[in-house]
Amino acid sequence: MFINWKLREINLKIVYYGPSLSGKTTSLQYIHSRTNPERRGELISLKTREDRTLYFDYMQFQMGKISGLMPRFNIYTVPGQVYYRGTRKLVLKGVDGIVFVADSQVRRLDENVEAIQDLYEDLEGLGFVASEVPMILQCNKRDLPEIVPVPTIKEQLGMNGIQTFESIAVDGVGVLDSLKCIVNSVVIKARGNISSNP
């Protein structure tokens, strides 16, 4: 959270995190397509030749005021490939909320587990207490055959008790519900921080 008192703006950062090809970029593309053009910036994507996210995807949007300040939400996705681990950690710096996008396919369960372990390690390395960072779980690709039941995904990822949404990002199903939930959680925390640090 960064507050520019001069401009009466509060900048909040939400990061979509998860294994490669889990649906992070697809989710962000859908959010961008459904956000009022007057309230959002461009969708910026840095990709490899194979059309995979290399560094990150990024967009910004605004909404109603928080404690008299105009919030700007900066939304990032991280590259899922393991060899971009350093990049993922950089993108997480200063994060206010996380959407963990899990790939629901049975064959991807181990990669989801590896990604959540990386996330907790990265947060710890950046000085965060993971349990204090607003986080939700988006179980994507629920339309595919051979998927893991949601309770099993939550159990395997150690995310019982975390708000969870089922999604089909290519069709936009569940994507905006996930976004609204994480935005609300981030706003509630920001309000608390602002009122305790007037």
| Domain count for the chain | 1
How far, in Å, CA of 29 to CA of 169, rounded? 9
Q: What is the pLDDT of residues 69-92, one digit of tens each?
A: 888 999 999 876 665 777 788 889
Measuring CA to CA, which residue among 76, 62, 47 is closest to residue 7? 62
Orientation of helix 85-92 relative to helix 109-125, angle to 10°? 50
Q: What is the mean pLDDT of the chain?
A: 89
Q: Residue 49's domain is classified under what CATH number?
A: 3.40.50.300
Please tell me the predicted confidence (pLDDT) of residue 34. Answer: 93
User: What is the domain extent for residue 87?
Assistant: 2-196
Q: What is the pLDDT of residues 153-196, one digit of tens each?
A: 999 999 999 999 999 999 999 999 999 999 999 999 988 887 76
Residue 185 or 2, more confident: 185
pLDDT over 70 at 49, yes or no: no
Kindly report the pTM of this predicted structure.
Answer: 0.91
